[in-house]
């Protein structure tokens, strides 16, 4: 088992990447018609079949067209973004000319549009873009409109694609994927099914915690040029703190009344805050381990990272007592007059309580993971080096096995 070694941001580095324009608030989707003409008169709208049939979407498109923008809709995006979806849009619109790409949907739709904007501008093969900073140049301008409160994909410059030839999810990470603008309208989330609300909210909370407790890397200028993720830093922390304060009250209110627009708004703002935080700090072990679990069990990404978080935090706790003690204060569970370690323990339990409040399972067996899956999942998780490098505690294969075994058993005792 690896020895816990604490990392700190000795450089006092701050790094932020974000869309050029951010518009947040209920009803703000209607501003899209005024925003798009600045990019040109031909827009490709990307969405899925469910959203394309929604009257809210049709009203949005009608308003855009009435304002003078010609809209073509591509509505065949599938969950977990299969590579074939991107190949299909490139074939369907080969030779077509668009001025801007607009994404209206959840995380898979937003991730799809980021890569589609590159392919439509540059051509080429999807697999040639896999990895970190491989995308050679900018794509078409991209405008994102998230319809779920959780992934933060409207703000991030990474897309996750499922490649069936590799039987795994693969990341495309590049600053060239950053949206030119995003419009975040919480009214979209009022019609989210309960299961989707739970999964995306759990994803947002995991993003906030993993960004705030990420490894500090103290990168050189050359490192910043070569790598997307700078590790834990001042500006990522600022957004993570805001998001954690928001979920403290928003999750219980949203669980009690899914139609509470204020709670939905706060959750969506927390998710956006989380997206900004992970955009430079990165995610870590929970995301690395979830990917093969999701492939095996076909469970939702957000439920997977949420269910893993209590066990990952117990593993990471020796290296992040100070940060978790602050989390306890941010989510309102810090014990009066207690030690930093007691506060860190309270933070982990408070995070578990927030996950339970929104209906996220707290063990891996509930996702369908079984003991015979452990070795395979551990092997595949260790291939996600972009994510494991962000974990605050050095993560070895034996550690992943331990996390998985505890998670399947639902053993949330304190580790020694």
CATH number for the domain harbouring residue 176: 3.40.50.1970
Per-residue confidence band for 168, with pLDDT thresholds at 50, 70 and 90: confident
How far is it, in rounded angstroms, from Cα 36 to Cα 155? 18
By percentage, how much of the chain surpasses pLDDT 70? 99
Asked if the structure places residue 90 within a domain, the reply is yes
Matching residue, tokens 């700090």: 281
Cα dist from 42 to 47, 62, 321, whole Å: 16, 14, 52
CB count within 10 Å of CB 7 equals 17
133, 227: one domain: no
289, 399: one domain: yes
Q: Is the pLDDT reported for residue 205 higher than 80?
A: yes
The 3-state DSSP class for residue 97 equals coil
Asked if the structure places residue 395 within a domain, the reply is yes
146, 229: one domain: no
224, 111: one domain: no
Cα dist from 206 to 79, 109, 331, whole Å: 20, 20, 14
pLDDT of residue 169: 87
Residue 208 makes CB contacts below 8 A (sequence gap 6+) with 240, 243, 244, 247, 270, 273, 274, 277
Asked if the structure places residue 416 within a domain, the reply is no
| 212 neighbors 296 (Cβ within 8 angstroms) | no
Asked if the structure places residue 20 within a domain, the reply is no
Q: Where is average pLDDT lowest: 120-124, 178-182, 215-219?
A: 120-124
CB count within 10 Å of CB 191 equals 13
How far is it, in rounded angstroms, from Cα 175 to Cα 58? 31
Per-residue confidence band for 338, with pLDDT thresholds at 50, 70 and 90: confident
Domain range for 319 is: 194-409
Q: Is the pLDDT reported for residue 167 higher than 90?
A: no
User: Between these two residues, 240 and 416, which has the higher pLDDT value?
Assistant: 240
| 98 neighbors 43 (Cβ within 8 angstroms) | yes
217, 106: one domain: no
**What is the tens place of the pLDDT at every residue in 281-302?**
999 999 999 999 999 999 999 9
**What is the tens place of the pLDDT at every residue in 361-403?**
999 999 999 999 999 999 999 999 989 999 999 999 999 999 9
Bridge partners for 44 per DSSP: 72, 101
How far is it, in rounded angstroms, from Cα 6 to Cα 392? 7
pLDDT of residue 286: 98
Q: Is the pLDDT reported for residue 117 higher than 80?
A: yes
250, 126: one domain: no
The total number of structural domains that make up the chain? 2
Q: What is the mean pLDDT of the chain?
A: 96
170, 202: one domain: no
Choose among 371, 397, 399: nearest CA to 315. Answer: 399
Matching residue, tokens 């209906």: 359
pLDDT of residue 416: 67
Q: Give the mean pLDDT of 117-133.
A: 94
**What is the tens place of the pLDDT at every residue in 37-62?**
999 999 999 999 999 999 999 999 99
pLDDT of residue 174: 95
Q: Is the pLDDT reported for residue 3 higher than 90?
A: no
Asked if the structure places residue 4 within a domain, the reply is no
Q: Is the pLDDT reported for residue 190 higher than 90?
A: yes
Asked if the structure places residue 109 within a domain, the reply is yes
Q: Is the pLDDT reported for residue 93 higher than 90?
A: yes
**What is the tens place of the pLDDT at every residue in 343-360?**
999 999 999 999 999 999
pLDDT of residue 166: 86
- Which residue intervals of 186-233 are DSSP H helices? 194-212, 221-226
228, 155: one domain: no
How far is it, in rounded angstroms, from Cα 244 to Cα 326? 10
**What is the tens place of the pLDDT at every residue in 228-259?**
999 999 999 999 999 999 999 999 999 999 99
How far is it, in rounded angstroms, from Cα 197 to Cα 356? 13
36, 79: one domain: yes
Q: Which of 184, 211, 246 is the last residue of a domain?
A: 184
Q: Give the mean pLDDT of 309-325.
A: 98
43, 107: one domain: yes
pLDDT of residue 2: 55
| 292 neighbors 403 (Cβ within 8 angstroms) | no
Per-residue confidence band for 119, with pLDDT thresholds at 50, 70 and 90: very high
pLDDT of residue 121: 95
pLDDT of residue 415: 82
Asked if the structure places residue 245 within a domain, the reply is yes
| 340 neighbors 333 (Cβ within 8 angstroms) | no
State the distance between the two ends of the chain, measured CA to CA, in whole angstroms.
11
| 236 neighbors 211 (Cβ within 8 angstroms) | yes
Q: Which of 164, 184, 204 is the last residue of a domain?
A: 184
Structural tokens at position 364 = 């891996």
212, 261: one domain: yes
37, 171: one domain: yes
- Which residue intervals of 138-260 are DSSP H helices? 194-212, 221-226, 234-256
Q: Is the pLDDT reported for residue 1 higher than 70?
A: no
How far is it, in rounded angstroms, from Cα 365 to Cα 145? 34
Choose among 326, 276, 284: nearest CA to 305. Answer: 284
pLDDT of residue 356: 98
Asked if the structure places residue 253 within a domain, the reply is yes
Structural tokens at position 258 = 């899914």
Helix axes 261-281, 234-256, angle to 10 degrees: 150
Q: Which of 184, 204, 219 is the last residue of a domain?
A: 184
How far is it, in rounded angstroms, from Cα 173 to Cα 93? 24
CATH code for position 405: 1.20.1090.10
């Amino acid at each position: 088992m690896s020895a816990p070694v604490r990392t700190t941001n000795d450089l006092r580095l701050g790094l932020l990447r974000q869309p050029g324009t951010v518009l947040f608030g209920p009803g703000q989707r209607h501003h899209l018609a005024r925003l798009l003409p600045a990019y040109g008169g031909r827009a490709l709208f990307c969405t899925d079949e469910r959203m394309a049939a929604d009257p809210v979407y049709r009203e949005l498109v009608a308003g855009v067209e009435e304002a003078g923008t010609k809209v073509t809709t591509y509505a065949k995006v599938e969950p977990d973004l299969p590579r074939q979806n991107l190949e299909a849009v490139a074939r369907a619109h080969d030779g077509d000319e668009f001025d801007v790409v607009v994404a209206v949907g959840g995380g898979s739709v937003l991730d799809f549009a980021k890569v589609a904007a590159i392919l439509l501008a540059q051509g080429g093969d999807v697999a040639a873009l896999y990895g970190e900073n491989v995308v050679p140049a900018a794509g078409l301008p991209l405008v994102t409109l998230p319809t779920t409160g959780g992934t933060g994909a409207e703000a991030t410059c990474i897309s996750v694609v499922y490649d069936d030839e590799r039987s795994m999810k693969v990341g495309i990470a590049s600053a060239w994927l950053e949206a030119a603008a995003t419009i975040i309208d919480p009214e979209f989330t009022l019609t989210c099914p309960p299961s989707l609300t739970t999964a995306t909210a759990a994803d947002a909370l995991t993003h906030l915690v993993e960004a705030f407790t990420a490894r500090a890397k103290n990168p050189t200028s050359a490192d910043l040029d070569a790598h997307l993720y700078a590790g834990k830093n001042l500006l990522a922390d600022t957004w993570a703190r805001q998001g954690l304060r928001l979920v403290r009250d928003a999750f219980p209110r949203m669980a009690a009344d899914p139609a509470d627009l204020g709670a939905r708004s706060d959750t969506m703002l927390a998710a956006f805050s989380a997206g900004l935080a992970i955009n430079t700090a990165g995610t870590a072990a929970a995301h690395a381990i979830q990917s093969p679990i999701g492939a095996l069990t076909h469970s939702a990404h957000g439920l997977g990272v949420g269910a893993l978080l209590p066990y990952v935090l117990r593993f990471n706790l020796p290296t992040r007592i100070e940060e978790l003690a602050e989390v306890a204060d941010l989510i309102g569970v810090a014990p009066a007059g207690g030690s930093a370690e007691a506060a860190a323990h309270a933070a982990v339990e408070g995070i578990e309580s927030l996950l339970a409040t929104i209906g996220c399972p707290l063990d891996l067996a509930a996702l369908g993971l079984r003991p015979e899956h452990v070795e395979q999942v551990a092997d595949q998780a260790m291939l996600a080096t972009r994510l494991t490098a962000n974990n605050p505690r050095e993560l070895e294969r034996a550690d992943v096995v331990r996390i998985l075994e505890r998670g399947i058993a639902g053993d949330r005792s304190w580790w020694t």
